[in-house]
Amino acid sequence: MQTGRRSFFPIMVMTLVGVRAQFAGQQRQGPIPRIPRIPDATRSNGSPENESAPPRRDPKEQLKENQKNLRRDADHLLQLAQELKDEADKTEQTDVLSLSLVRKAEEVEKLARQIKSLARGA
């Protein structure tokens, strides 16, 4: 009788481990369930949106446009920097700057960052 009790617990543990392994194997064997796609009501042909992506632009054309924007922004930066210098020259106080001078400096800084990102091609 005592050998029956001693073997009961190990048999139960082995059975539970086997059942767990069997269920884990069944879950991994099946295909991954996918969410069905619902066609967009605004599209007439019902095709997915990613198939009708707009064609890519020509890299040379993109570079020309970036160069044009770069020149335009550089001219604007030069004009703002000149205005900033003129306004700084007009300021008589050395310990306090005017609010318009600070705003102009921030605008120059923002435009300089824009030019930097255009020059990098980002």
* Tokens 């042909």, located at residue: 45
Average pLDDT estimate for 46-50: 51
- The residue to which tokens 């095709």 are assigned: 47
Instruction: Give the Cα separation of 108 and 116 in Å (integer).
Output: 12
Contact, 80 vs 108, CB < 8 A?
yes
pTM for the whole structure: 0.48
Phi, psi of 43 (to 5 degrees): -85, 135
Measured CA distances, 96 to 91, 101, 107 (Å): 9, 10, 19
The closest of 75, 85, 62 to 115, measured between CA atoms, is: 75
Listed residue (88, 82, 92) closest to 100, CA to CA: 88
pLDDT score, position 28: 52
List pLDDT tens digits, range 9-21.
777 777 777 767 6
Model pLDDT, residue 87: 85
